[in-house]
Amino acid sequence: MTAQTLAPPSGTSTHRAPGPARHRVRHLVADTGTMIGRSLRLVRRDPDELLLAVLLPVMMMLLFVYVFGGAMQVGTDYITYATPGVILLCAGYGASNTALAVQQDMAGGIVDRFRSLPIASSTMLTGHVVASVVKNLVSTVIVFGVAFLIGFRADATALEWCGAIAMIVLYVLAITWVATFVGVLAHTPAAAGGFGFFMLFLPYVSSAFVPPETMPSWMRGFAENQPITSVIETTRGLLVGTGSDGSPVTDLGPTAWLAVAWTAGITAVFLVAAAVAFARRRRQ
Amino acid sequence: MTTRSSTSRSAGADVAVRAEGLHKSFGPARRRTTVLTGLDLTLHRGEVLALLGPNGAGKTTSVRILSTLLAPDAGRATVAGLDVVHDAARVREVISLTGQYAAVDDKQTGAENLTMMARLAHLPRRAVAPRVEELLTAFDLTDAAGRRVGTYSGGMRRRLDLAAGLLAHPQVMFLDEPTTGLDPRSRQTMWDVIRDVVARGTSLFLTTQYLEEADQLADRIALIDDGSVVAEGTSSELKRQVGDAGVELTFATVADAALVAAALDLTRDGTRLRVPTDGSVPHVRSVLAAVEATAVVPTSWEVRAPTLDDVFLTLTGHTARTARATATDGTDRADRARTEQETAA
């Protein structure tokens, strides 16, 4: 071991760069980039995550089209009806797994080290969120791939495709920030995993797989008004141009704005909640 | 050798870390558990201070406050003259913390972990790769650099963790129980590495529950018990009081032990007595002769190196074990909760 390696600061080239006062923004951008790189690497190297991201979409598509599809009467081809729902189911579930990644960081020693560094340690959360969006977009591409292979055909212009993708990204962002909040609060992996369980079932009580008109009235009220329904209707309207009853959509505007309001609102609320919870847990 | 900056020479220029009257409690008002009850200590520049105490005495809480992770309820602490609460951001520029649980990602390789930490420590872009290379070599991790940390041994993880703490040349290092859970050989290696680090003048604040570790590494030792420092001194000062070794005698009854304790002017711990000794045959023989002169026969006796309990018994009059059971029940619970969390992860 050389003296050079372990010597205290002496103004050498390896000394820390000037403090945050002058380079705050530049550091914030660079630190966020480093954290995103970290989270992406962690996702890529988690065999469970990878398997889930690839296998779940394939299985869901096959399940809905070939197992349930034959029995469903929704006014259009069931594959056309259900594909947007499968996409959102997979993306939402994938996003909810962010809770586990965040919980693991919070419980391990690494969050303490990040907090002892001259960085905004909440960039750790941003890293997980961006990685989640990337991961779930990959997952979405897989669902589309399988859907096309077994007969799904979209009836969308390039602009409508962009709108649908943007809607999916907004949805993933919203779910990811809720998951991040859960991950910050959860004391055990089981508690963090509970959110994924919840997210795996929530889309069923919406217009994702069956028209809400078929549900009992009390459940129908929830199904028609919960955020996922507006997101589903918007995505389906953009991609295939039909509504929850299988008839063509004439004016998607109100539904789309409702979906944007829901997702943006949930994102904003839970982003702040996650940041506050993150700051508070340091004092415990 | 101490390195002092000529520009910052002031009244406290010699002090790396100072804590004054730190108080900290956790939990809601009705089940409040007090962990620190007025902790005072000073770490001078270039010095190694070991905070020695049993589990639940408040060691980790102290480190977390001094390294800006926790705010104290009362009291004040400075690092390099900067307040840990109000100047937290600037304190983080000059410290590094290596906690009790390795702060590295299992799914990243050793080199990736260090590169990430070097970037986050804001090393100049071009300095990152050479510095990472340098530390991998220094910590004998070059061969394992491309392997995921999940495949590392406990000792390798700790070395990588320590290397991560050194990337940005910290002025003050905090090491929280650096060798807990390591096998004797890895512990020895870790001590060598830490000695090399401090030999270059880095100020080191270390916590440990092993007397031997404090003795091996520290210039000064502060004994922490029930949230405050109960004794402080150089390793040799403490050892002068406790002895290199001890003749430990066990008696059948408390009365027997008390009789011998009175005759030899010693502190008694139940039916146990401990006489400090240098371990030499003449001295041990003289101790046994003095015991024999009391006409009380011990049920057993042995000569052994002092433990944390011996230090506590000698310096505070009660053992670390009792201190833990009676005084800081709540702290133990807080510690247990944290441990459970770690294990669950």
Each domain of chain B, given as residue ranges in start order, spans 15-239, 244-305
**Listed ranges A58-62, A272-276, B229-233, B328-332; the one with the highest mean pLDDT:** A272-276
Q: Kindly report, residue by residue over A205-239, the tens digit of the pLDDT.
A: 888 787 887 888 888 888 888 888 888 888 888 88
Q: Kindly report, residue by residue over B9-18, the tens digit of the pLDDT.
A: 444 678 899 9
Kindly report the CATH number that applies to the domain delimited by B15-239. Answer: 3.40.50.300
SS3 for B30-53 is HHCEEEEEEEEEEEECCCEEEEEC
- A34 vs B95, B100, B120: nearest CB: B120
ipTM exceeds 0.85, yes or no: no
CB contact under 8 A, A8 and B168: no
Question: How confident is the model over A188-201, as a mean pLDDT?
Answer: 84
- A16 vs B123, B135, B201: nearest CB: B123
pLDDT level of residue B339 (50, 70, 90 thresholds): very low
Question: How confident is the model over B245-265, as a mean pLDDT?
Answer: 87
Touching check for A250 and chain B: CB below 8 Å?
no
Whether residue B333 is predicted with pLDDT greater than 60 in this model: the reply is no
CB contact under 8 A, A118 and B126: no
Residues of chain A with pLDDT > 70: what percent?
Answer: 88
The two three-digit tokens of residue A143, written as one number: 């669902």
Q: Kindly report, residue by residue over A93-145, the tens digit of the pLDDT.
A: 888 888 988 998 888 788 888 988 888 888 999 999 999 999 888 888 888 88
Residue environment code for A91-127, b if the CB has 16+ CB neighbours within 10 A, otherwise e: bbbbbbbbbbbbbbbbbbbbbbbbbbbbbbbbbbbbb
Name the closest residue on chain A to residue B67, using Cα atoms: A116
Task: Name the DSSP class of A249.
Answer: P
CA distance A147 to A215: 26
Residues with Cβ within 8 Å of B271's Cβ and at least 6 positions away in sequence, in order, are: B250, B251, B252, B253, B254, B256, B257
Residue A211 in domain: yes
**Listed ranges A3-7, A211-215, B126-130, B334-338; the one with the highest mean pLDDT:** B126-130
Q: End-to-end CA distance of chain A, in Å?
A: 39
Touching check for B84 and chain A: CB below 8 Å?
no
The two three-digit tokens of residue B257, written as one number: 């032990």
Write the CA distances from B197 to A163, A232, B92, B131, B216, integer angstroms.
57, 59, 19, 15, 14
User: B305 or B264, which is more confident?
Assistant: B264
Whether residue A243 is predicted with pLDDT greater than 60 in this model: the reply is yes
Residue A20 in domain: no
CB contact under 8 A, A119 and B117: no
Which residue type is seen at A265? G
Kindly report the CATH number that applies to the domain delimited by B244-305. Answer: 3.30.70
Please count the structural domains in chain A.
1
Question: How confident is the model over B183-192, as a mean pLDDT?
Answer: 86
CB contact under 8 A, B202 and A112: no
pLDDT level of residue A246 (50, 70, 90 thresholds): low
CB-defined contacts A:B, below 8 A = 140
Residue A76 in domain: yes
Residues of chain B with pLDDT > 70: what percent?
Answer: 87
Residue-level pLDDT at B196:
85
The two three-digit tokens of residue B328, written as one number: 């800081």
Residue-level pLDDT at B187:
87
User: B53 or B116, which is more confident?
Assistant: B116
Average pLDDT score, chain B = 82
pLDDT level of residue B131 (50, 70, 90 thresholds): very high
Whether residue A10 is predicted with pLDDT greater than 60 in this model: the reply is no
CA distance B266 to B251: 14
Indicate if B244-305 has the same CATH topology as B15-239: no
pLDDT level of residue A19 (50, 70, 90 thresholds): low
pLDDT level of residue B342 (50, 70, 90 thresholds): very low
- B131 vs A14, A116, A284: nearest CB: A14
Touching check for A8 and chain B: CB below 8 Å?
yes
Q: Kindly report, residue by residue over B266-312, the tens digit of the pLDDT.
A: 877 788 888 888 878 898 898 889 888 888 899 998 888 777 677 77
Range of the domain at A223: 32-281
Residue A7 in domain: no
- A16 vs B93, B117, B199: nearest CB: B93
Residue A27 in domain: no
Question: How confident is the model over B59-84, as a mean pLDDT?
Answer: 91
